Structure 1
């Protein structure tokens, strides 16, 4: 099925291949005996949670993660009732009842969140499910070893809380030989001993490609579902799920000494053909691609010239057949010829940022 709206009215077309997302999920799930979840934070990494989540649910996924509570609340009606939604940041102060009311499970990250969840359980007179996140060395989210020791010294410190998952997060999983991986796994094993019988989770996208000892009971892929390479420097084992094609607005001939774009940073040598396309940094196309990015026309690389501006940028299309670069024609900014990770490398960033920055002005097609 293709869902589309008036492609001729948009400056660019963003295509999301839900079949590729589903295939990536099947591949990742097949790599382990552990259950495979799906991370939906940042609107499914910019691809559209409303389309991606039901597609993965139809593939058999029954565990989902969001970052914020409001994301979890928006995700709840998109999924079957038997799906579990974990909120990674836990309940913001004063919102524990919202988690309960909307049927999402908080990931408790500090003593204050634990206390608020326990207080709600006492008020309701029932046990409430939760995930417990432990800080195994990343110093970002999760209950610290010191806080965990202080909490667990108290009697009935988990009264009213029914842990459904104990988890932590790897800092260097995309570097398989980094000593931090083994160090974190060792710390996690030590800390989770306080939760006997509770399912455990450590592996993010890249963590799935580490040894099976990192898999535990639940895998938590995010970026890998959407085609970002979980093993930088190695061939990408996953399918590309996103492509972006920009529309040409204008084509002109420029001559020796002419300037292209803001700041007069690009001065033309000789006679060139410059196509202006309707994508810029307001669409999430990074300004750092100025003078170093590329687009593709029928597989032929054409360089970005001058600065990427708010709504447009210039491409040197010299030598391309005029009928292929006329106003209204499309060029590939990202896709088969130009994968996400290649775009990110040129921009000096990572594929995560490229995906999550993609803007709302595109015409979006879902395959």
Structure 2
């Protein structure tokens, strides 16, 4: 930790905006698409739309994707001149709110298309994206529906400027489902030749079969590995640290934490951090989580509490265990994917779950 232990909160979340920008450049190069956008939903994956979006804009990103209208309004405030798509469509009766803020809904049902087309007829054309489902079965028109509507006047009235689909498992090498999705998407793309197309997510950026006109990476921008099982080409963007509150010695047989789930097998040294599941650090990390103290990986001792985590720091040199000494929970070899595995989940959940209580530091 290069700065004093935070006093407003026990944990500090550092966001490296220079690394974020570098990752966007890496992904733009890998994608080999005419344009690379950025997905900044979930408050820029926990990094903060207000700071992440302008940094990406300064690097040359001009198109952004969010999930909800509220996120889109934050993005519009952060990057006033950007193109902003809203992935989750729009609720009934909300077309005017999108129009007022110059936002582009991603439409994935006949009802949504009809409502947006009607708004365009009444108040003038505004663009939108057409979402086609090629295998996720979550949102989007089916491929047969998209093909059958290709000549429908309603589609022209909807003012589509982008055709997109969502990959199911692009991170799995040689998954036949990815090839199937790419082939289905190509069928629809041929029926809408005037539209720009977007298929590649973070992992899809590295697959030639998924390249189109617009890449839209998300997780990898923030340091997640888009190619599991291989070396991560991305730079780490977030670092989570906490200062040690207290150190104590315990004897064999002593327990630690709620429900006495951890029992000392011999004399041990424990350190307590002011950080817990209320800060977005998963309680499921109990028994598997780690932090780095003095260059040593230290296992969690006992349950992750709402506001506190106990570490077994027996192997750490004593001079690294002073009150206020730093412990790293993300960083120093504990990357997002490792922390996710230790919690029985994925790095996406770790990143997007980072709480609002931390002191946040932005570096560029």
Q: TM-score, normalised by structure 2?
A: 0.96
Alignment partners' CA distance in 1, 2:250 and 2:20: 43
Which deviations, in whole Å up to 9, do the C-alpha atoms of 1:233-274 show, x marking residues without a partner?
111011011110012111111101111111111111221110
Give the Å deviation of 1:149.
4.5
Specify which of 271, 275, 281 is matched with residue 279 of structure 1: 275
Which deviations, in whole Å up to 9, do the C-alpha atoms of 1:171-214 show, x marking residues without a partner?
01001200001100111111222211211000000000112x31
Specify which of 310, 323, 326 is matched with residue 327 of structure 1: 323
Which deviations, in whole Å up to 9, do the C-alpha atoms of 1:54-88 show, x marking residues without a partner?
0000000000000111111111021142x100000
Contact 1:240 1:336 in 2 (8 A): no
Alignment partners' CA distance in 2, 1:216 and 1:290: 43
Paired position in structure 2 for 1:120: 119
Paired position in structure 2 for 1:258: 254
Q: Secondary structure at the match of 1:128?
A: coil
Give the Å deviation of 1:361.
0.9
1:4-153 pair list within 5 angstroms = 7-31=6-30, 32-81=32-81, 83-124=82-123, 126-152=124-150
Call closer, same or farther: CA 1:244–1:6 in 2, change over 3 Å. Answer: closer
Q: Secondary structure at the match of 1:230?
A: coil
Contact 2:5 2:326 in 1 (8 A): no
1:94-243 pair list within 5 angstroms = 94-124=93-123, 126-152=124-150, 154=152, 156-211=153-208, 213-243=209-239
* Structure 1, unpaired ranges of 5+: none
Contact 2:162 2:198 in 1 (8 A): yes
Contact 1:166 1:198 in 2 (8 A): yes
Which deviations, in whole Å up to 9, do the C-alpha atoms of 1:8-38 show, x marking residues without a partner?
2211010000000000001111221431000
Contact 1:37 1:61 in 2 (8 A): yes
**Most deviating of 318-327 and 57-66:** 318-327
Q: TM-score, normalised by structure 1?
A: 0.95
Alignment partners' CA distance in 1, 2:126 and 2:305: 50
RMSD over aligned Cα atoms: 1.6
Paired position in structure 1 for 2:309: 313
Alignment partners' CA distance in 2, 1:229 and 1:137: 23
Q: Secondary structure at the match of 1:16?
A: strand
**Most deviating of 307-316 and 329-338:** 329-338
Contact 1:11 1:361 in 2 (8 A): no
Give the Å deviation of 1:6.
8.8
Alignment partners' CA distance in 2, 1:152 and 1:58: 37
Alignment partners' CA distance in 2, 1:183 and 1:34: 23
Alignment partners' CA distance in 1, 2:299 and 2:259: 18
Give the Å deviation of 1:323.
3.5
Paired position in structure 2 for 1:341: 337
Alignment partners' CA distance in 1, 2:27 and 2:126: 31
Give the Å deviation of 1:144.
1.3
Alignment partners' CA distance in 2, 1:103 and 1:311: 41
